[in-house]
């Protein structure tokens, strides 16, 4: 009786999946499906998170436009990254 191992290629690295050889059967993990189902509290949290990030992004874009128009010093990608993170940190519940 040949043993079979079910695996999800999106969750298992190539080396392990090839090491399984002929015993491997590729399937989608049922856990992946269950994690995709959100309740009302999770949906509300996601929605509010996007709203807060939109506020931070709007404030950042205003700062960027104002800074570009008034400054002779060029901004680097690093400068801009630090500044947008600064705006995001001001938002309630920010984790980083």
At 5-44, the pLDDT tens digits run 888 888 888 898 888 888 888 998 888 889 999 999 999 9
Terminal alpha carbon distance of the chain: 51
Cβ neighbours of 1 (radius 10 Å): 3
From CA 6, how far away is CA 11, in angstroms rounded? 12
Cβ neighbours of 45 (radius 10 Å): 13
Using DSSP, state whether 19 is helix, strand or coil: helix
- State pLDDT tens for residues 54-67: 999 999 999 999 99
Residue 86 pLDDT > 80, yes or no?
A: yes
From CA 81, how far away is CA 32, in angstroms rounded? 32
């Amino acid at each position: 009786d040949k043993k079979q191992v079910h695996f999800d290629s999106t969750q298992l690295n190539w080396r392990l999946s090839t090491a399984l050889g002929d015993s491997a059967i590729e399937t989608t993990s049922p856990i992946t499906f269950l994690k995709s189902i959100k309740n009302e509290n999770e949906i509300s949290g996601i929605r509010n998170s996007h709203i807060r990030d939109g506020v931070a992004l709007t404030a950042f874009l205003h700062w960027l436009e104002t800074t570009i128009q008034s400054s002779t010093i060029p901004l680097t990608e690093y400068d801009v990254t630090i500044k947008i993170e600064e705006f995001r940190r001001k938002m309630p519940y920010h984790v980083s």
